[in-house]
Chain A
Amino acid sequence: MRALVAEHVDTADPRRLANGWAVPDPAFSRALGAAGLIGMTWPKAYGGHERSPLERYVVLEELLAAGAPVGAHWIADRQTGALLLRYGHEDQKARWVPGMAAGEIYACIGLSEPNAGSDLASVRTTARREGEEWVIDGQKVWTTNAHHAHVMIALVRSEAGSERNAGLSQFVIPMDAPGVTVRPIIDLTGGHDFNEVFLESVRLPATALVGVEGDGWRQVTAELSLERSGPERYLSSTALVLQLIDYARVHPSESLTALVARLAAETWTLRLMSASVANKIARGEDPALEATMVKDLGNSFEQAIPELVQAAVEVDPAGPEPLGLVLGHLLQLSPSFSLRGGTREILKGIIARGLGLR
Chain B
Amino acid sequence: MNEQQQMLSEMADGLFAEHGPTATVESGWPAIAEVALDGLLLAEDQGGFGGSWEEALTVFRLAGYHAIALPVVEAIVAAALARRSDGRGTVAAVTEGRIVGDRFSGTLSGIPWGGGADYVVAPAPDGGAIVVAAQAGTLDTGRNIAGEPRDRLTVQDAPVARLEGNPFALMALARVAQIAGALDATLALSVGYVNERKQFGRPLAKFQAVQQALASFACEAAAANCAAMGAAQAMSRGSAPFEIAAAKLRANRAIGTGTALAHQVHGAIGFTEEYQLHPLTRRLWAWRSEFGGDAYWSAQLGGPIVAAGSSAFWSGLTALTG
A interface list, Cβ under 8 A from B: 2, 61-62, 65-66, 238, 241-243, 245-246, 248-249, 252, 254, 256-262, 264-273, 275-276, 290, 293, 296-297, 345, 347-349, 351-352, 354-358
A262–B249 alpha-carbon span in the complex (Å): 7
Which B residues lie within 8 Å of A259 (CB)?
302
Contact A352–B306 (Cβ < 8 Å)? no
Beyond A246-B309, A268-B242, A352-B212, whether A273 also contacts B223 by CB under 8 A is yes
Give the distance to chain A from B311, nearest Cβ to Cβ, in Å.
Answer: 8
Which A residues lie within 8 Å of B249 (CB)?
261-262, 265
Which A residues lie within 8 Å of B306 (CB)?
245, 248-249, 252, 256-257, 260
Beyond A245-B313, A258-B295, A272-B229, whether A348 also contacts B211 by CB under 8 A is yes
Chain B 204-224 interface mask (CB, 8 Å, partner A; 1/0): 011010111011101100110
Contact A355–B215 (Cβ < 8 Å)? yes
Give the distance to chain B from A215, nearest Cβ to Cβ, in Å.
Answer: 29
Contact B230–A257 (Cβ < 8 Å)? no
Report, nearest first, the 6 A-B pairs whose CB atoms are least far apart.
A261-B302, A352-B211, A257-B302, A351-B215, A348-B215, A242-B310
Which A residues lie within 8 Å of B222 (CB)?
273, 290, 293, 297
B243 contacts the other chain (CB 8 A): yes
Chain A binding surface SS class: helix
Which B residues lie within 8 Å of A347 (CB)?
215
A270–B227 alpha-carbon span in the complex (Å): 9
CB nearest neighbor in A for B192 = A356
Give the distance to chain B from A229, nearest Cβ to Cβ, in Å.
Answer: 12
Considering the complex, which residues of chain B in the window 182-212 have a beta carbon less than 8 Å from any beta carbon of chain A? 187, 191, 194-195, 205-206, 208, 210-212
Contact B218–A268 (Cβ < 8 Å)? no
Give the distance to chain B from A2, nearest Cβ to Cβ, in Å.
Answer: 7
B interface list, Cβ under 8 A from A: 187, 191, 194-195, 205-206, 208, 210-212, 214-216, 218-219, 222-223, 226-227, 229-230, 242-243, 245-247, 249-250, 253, 294-295, 297-303, 305-307, 309-310, 313-315, 317-318, 320-321
Beyond A261-B249, A264-B305, whether A297 also contacts B317 by CB under 8 A is no
Beyond A242-B313, A267-B317, A355-B215, whether A273 also contacts B226 by CB under 8 A is yes
Contact A349–B301 (Cβ < 8 Å)? no
CB pairs A–B below 8 angstroms (21 shown):
A66-B314, A245-B306, A245-B310, A249-B307, A258-B294, A258-B295, A260-B305, A261-B245, A264-B305, A265-B247, A265-B253, A266-B253, A267-B317, A269-B227, A275-B321, A293-B219, A296-B215, A348-B216, A351-B219, A352-B215, A355-B187
A137–B194 alpha-carbon span in the complex (Å): 46
Contact of A265 among B210, B250, B320, B321 (CB under 8 A): B250
A347–B300 alpha-carbon span in the complex (Å): 34
Which B residues lie within 8 Å of A265 (CB)?
227, 245-247, 249-250, 253, 301
Which A residues lie within 8 Å of B219 (CB)?
293, 296-297, 351
Give the distance to chain B from A61, nearest Cβ to Cβ, in Å.
Answer: 8
A243–B249 alpha-carbon span in the complex (Å): 22
Since A258-B298, A269-B250, A347-B215 are in contact, a sample of 16 more A-B pairs with Cβ atoms closer than 8 Å, ordered by chain A residue number, is A245-B305, A260-B302, A260-B305, A261-B300, A264-B246, A266-B250, A266-B253, A267-B317, A269-B223, A270-B223, A272-B230, A297-B222, A352-B211, A352-B214, A356-B191, A357-B191
Which A residues lie within 8 Å of B247 (CB)?
265, 269
Give the distance to chain A from B310, nearest Cβ to Cβ, in Å.
Answer: 4
Give the distance to chain A from B210, nearest Cβ to Cβ, in Å.
Answer: 7
Give the distance to chain B from A39, nearest Cβ to Cβ, in Å.
Answer: 23
Beyond A242-B310, A243-B310, A290-B222, whether A358 also contacts B298 by CB under 8 A is no
A319–B212 alpha-carbon span in the complex (Å): 38
A91–B284 alpha-carbon span in the complex (Å): 59
Contact B205–A357 (Cβ < 8 Å)? yes
CB nearest neighbor in B for A2 = B315
A243–B205 alpha-carbon span in the complex (Å): 43
Which A residues lie within 8 Å of B194 (CB)?
357
Contact B299–A254 (Cβ < 8 Å)? yes
Give the distance to chain A from B177, nearest Cβ to Cβ, in Å.
Answer: 14
Which A residues lie within 8 Å of B187 (CB)?
355
